[in-house]
Structures are given as C-alpha cells and as structure tokens.
Amino acid sequence: MVILDVFHVCRSKTLLDRSSKPMDGMNDFERQLQEFFAEVKSMLKLGNKDDAITLLQANYEAVKEQIDAGVKDMEQAAILDIIALGYMGLGDFVLVESLLDMVTSFANF
C-alpha cells in the first residue's frame, strides 16, 4: 500500500517522512506532491478507480494522523488539497467538500 508516495504501490515511506532539500528550485516535497497527483490522475485515466481510491485513502489516513497529533501546517494542507483533487476526479464532491473544510479549519498557518 502506498502512503504519500507515488512511485510504487508497495512503498511505505510517506511524504511527511521525506526531506525537503531544494532541487532545481523545487523541494522534494513539492516534487512528490506533483508526482502523487500525476499518479492518481494516471490511475483514473487508465480506469484503475479502486487503486486510486486505495492510494487516496492511505494518504488521507497518514495525513489525518499528523493532524490529530496537532500538526496543522502547509504540508498537511497541500496533501489534503491533492487528495481532494483526486476525489474530484472520482466525482465524490461530498468528500471533496469535507476535505476542503478540514483545510480551511486550520488554514491560518
């Protein structure tokens, strides 16, 4: 199961565990967010809806643990935003609204 990592479905590292060393004007976290979004988008285009849901849910659970532990920073908001975009692609707008409400509840970072 992938948790905030989009390279291989069997990886277990999360984006929140990775370093943020700058590379080409973009840090690792930003690059991984882009790759995460691209992976979800690719899954949806290929008709792998169940895989996309599994990936989105795993990422949600990982970021939710961080939020429940009191970590409510830009990184958590960015991850939730990407997850919301994924669910938008799935047509689950009720969940999208819930995710975006979660982001706005701590958007004063």
- Give whole-number Cα distances, 27 to 2, 12, 16, in Å: 21, 20, 13
Structural domain contains residue 13: no
Structural domain contains residue 100: yes
Beta bridge partners of 26: 23
Domain range for 55:
28-105
Q: State yes or no: pLDDT of 6 exceeds 90.
A: no
pLDDT (average), residues 7-36? 63
Q: Which two tokens stand for residue 103?
A: 């982001």
Q: State yes or no: pLDDT of 36 exceeds 90.
A: yes
Tally of domains in the chain: 1
Q: Is 48 strand, coil or helix?
A: coil
For the segment 43-59, what is each residue's pLDDT rounded down to a tens digit?
Answer: 999 999 999 999 999 99
- Give whole-number Cα distances, 97 to 24, 35, 60, 87, 100, in Å: 34, 23, 14, 10, 5
pLDDT (average), residues 86-91? 97
Question: What was the pLDDT predicted at 106?
Answer: 81
Q: State yes or no: pLDDT of 5 exceeds 50.
A: no
Question: What was the pLDDT predicted at 89?
Answer: 97
Contacts of 44 (CB under 8 A, 6+ apart): 52, 86, 89, 90
Percent of the chain with pLDDT over 90: 71
